[in-house]
């Protein structure tokens, strides 16, 4: 019975490392395409002669630290006042309500058309708020900004000309980051998110494949939202869901990376994991909802293949987590010293994938001037990915079997490179139990490292060190955040903070 169990674990291990390796290969394919695409960046287009009415929607829920900043930035957008409408979709239950009312009053006093929409309940969460606002919006185009974004005054001047044909349903801008060098946590986020926009969005858009609205810093054609079935709350990623439904309905989405909208990154690992869990679970829910129908259409194969990698990206977290926790049981299949040969399949696939990911981000960071200052965070990306994989894997699996779910907002602190945090970190949300999970996995995955040393499997030592190091890093940061919750600013919770 034990032999059967261990053989099953070994088979599971091999399957998981193959999936991880596929993820690495896909990164390299995207990188190769991006190196060609980046040379074909579009120029500046002119604003259309007939200026359309644009409604700017600002969905808020208990964002007292950043609401005033967002409303002021929206009111400063360069666009004819008679062609601009601002909707603050405020579901708040705290002091944010007063901040919103005061901010909107200041705008209306300047002649800006601005209003506050409040619902009796948070039904549908952000999707419900956007849908309610859409019913009253007078604009033919809908711009959306989350609370932690600061739209530049020329945002509409840059994005609206990108609606070059009636078939374009949405234009997505690139995210910029106010606190990208605050700590290891924000540095890794900034680098990976920058690659998401510059490589993934750019190549998918240029190659005629599906990509997505990121929920903020973009403009929708109102007709496209309605034609695709409107905002729906049956997934945690209403933006991804609407994007795929719109593209399957025949609308084209456009990405314009030359327009950058500054934003605030989650400053704690706790908040980062919570945000990623929502995104990962929502992507799985969207895959279950739209992927079967998409695969049955007559769309080109390249569109279907990329959609599989995109929507099922959560399986990469599942595979990564399984690969690390099954490494030691897999080795026990073959005994003691002779088992060094058992490392070969797993080590080759995992090391190759980690190498591909390091190569992907290194080439990107050095090639893209806007992210060159983040290159020092590249070596830490595999460690952070290893450490958070079990938590995101759980969210991915839940998404395949659960629809809906609670939309847990990511806390905003109003941080920037030049200002101190106005709110102490809610790091207590990272329960000490989550840190303990990371430490348990540290102990479990340290065994293969000792085994590699004992069997002189020197080629396996780098990987054997990286896995427990990833769990050690995650556990240490989470434990520190839990210990100092409410006592210090978010940036100082990270032991690697500057």
Query: Active-site positions?
Result: 91, 239
How many residues does the structure list for the chain? 498
How is residue 171 written in tokens?
Answer: 């234009």
Q: Is 334 exposed, middle or buried (0-12, 13-18, 19+ CB in 10 A)?
A: middle
Q: Order of strands across the sheet with 54-60?
A: 113-117, 84-90, 54-60, 141-144, 218-221, 168-177, 252-263
For the chain, the helix, strand and coil percentages under 3-state DSSP, each to the nearest 5: 60, 10, 30
Cβ atoms of residues 215 and 169 within 8 Å: no
* Ramachandran sector of residue 144 (left: φ over 0; alpha: ψ -120 to 50; beta: rest): beta
Distance CA 91, CA 131 (A): 13
Distance CA 498, CA 492 (A): 8
Distance CA 424, CA 7 (A): 49
Give the CA distances from residue 331 to residues 12, 324, 338, 451, 458, in Å, rounded to whole numbers and listed in that order.
Answer: 12, 12, 10, 9, 15
Cβ atoms of residues 130 and 57 within 8 Å: yes
How is residue 350 written in tokens?
Answer: 């995992």
Q: Is 292 exposed, middle or buried (0-12, 13-18, 19+ CB in 10 A)?
A: exposed
Closest CA to 491 of 266, 184, 267: 267
Phi (first) and psi of residue 422, to 5 degrees: -95, 0
Using DSSP, state whether 56 is helix, strand or coil: strand
Distance CA 490, CA 484 (A): 10
The strand ranges marked E within 21-83 are 54-60
Closest CA to 412 of 263, 278, 277, 273: 263
């Amino acid at each position: 019975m034990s032999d059967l169990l261990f053989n099953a674990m070994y088979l599971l291990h091999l399957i998981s490392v193959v999936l991880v390796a596929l993820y690495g290969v896909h990164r390299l394919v995207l990188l190769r395409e991006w190196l060609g695409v980046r040379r074909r960046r579009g120029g500046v287009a002119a604003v259309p002669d007939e200026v359309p009415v644009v409604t700017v929607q600002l969905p808020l829920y208990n964002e007292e630290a950043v609401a005033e900043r967002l409303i002021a930035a929206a009111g400063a957008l360069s666009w004819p006042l008679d062609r601009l409408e601002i909707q603050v979709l405020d579901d708040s239950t705290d002091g944010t309500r007063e901040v919103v009312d005061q901010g909107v009053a200041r705008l209306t006093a300047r002649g800006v058309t601005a209003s506050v929409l409040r619902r009796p309940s948070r039904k549908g969460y952000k999707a419900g708020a956007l849908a309610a606002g859409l019913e009253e919006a007078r604009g033919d185009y809908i711009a959306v900004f989350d609370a932690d974004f600061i739209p530049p005054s020329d945002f509409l001047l840059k994005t609206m000309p990108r609606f070059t044909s009636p078939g374009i349903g949405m234009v997505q801008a690139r995210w910029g980051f106010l606190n990208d060098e605050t700590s290891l946590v924000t540095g890794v986020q900034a680098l990976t998110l920058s690659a998401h926009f510059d490589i993934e969005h750019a190549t998918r858009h240029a190659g005629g494949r599906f990509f997505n609205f990121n929920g903020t810093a973009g403009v929708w054609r109102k007709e496209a939202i309605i034609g695709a079935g409107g905002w729906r709350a049956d997934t945690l990623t209403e933006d991804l869901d609407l994007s795929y439904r719109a593209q399957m309905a025949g609308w084209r989405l456009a990405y314009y990376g030359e327009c950058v909208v500054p934003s605030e990154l989650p400053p704690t690992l706790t908040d980062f994991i919570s945000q990623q869990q929502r995104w990962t679970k929502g992507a799985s829910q969207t895959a279950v909802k739209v992927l079967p129908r998409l695969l049955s259409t007559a769309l080109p194969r390249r569109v279907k293949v990329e959609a599989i990698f995109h929507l099922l990206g959560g399986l990469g977290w599942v595979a990564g987590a399984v690969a690390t926790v099954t490494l030691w049981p897999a080795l026990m299949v073959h005994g003691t010293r002779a088992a060094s040969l058992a490392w070969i399949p797993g080590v080759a696939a995992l090391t190759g994938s980690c190498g591909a990911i390091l190569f992907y981000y290194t080439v990107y960071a050095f090639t893209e001037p806007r992210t060159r200052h983040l290159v020092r965070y590249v070596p830490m990306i595999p460690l952070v990915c290893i450490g958070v994989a079990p938590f995101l894997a759980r969210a991915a699996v839940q998404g395949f079997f659960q629809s809906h779910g609670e939309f847990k907002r990511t806390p905003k602190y109003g941080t920037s490179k030049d200002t101190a945090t106005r709110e102490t970190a809610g790091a207590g949300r990272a329960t000490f139990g989550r840190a303990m999970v990371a430490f348990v996995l540290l102990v479990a995955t340290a065994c293969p490292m000792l085994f590699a040393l004992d069997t002189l499997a020197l080629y396996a030592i780098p990987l054997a060190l990286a896995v427990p190091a990833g769990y050690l890093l995650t556990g240490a940061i989470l434990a520190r955040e839990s210990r100092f919750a409410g006592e210090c600013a978010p940036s100082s919770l990270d032991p690697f903070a500057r």
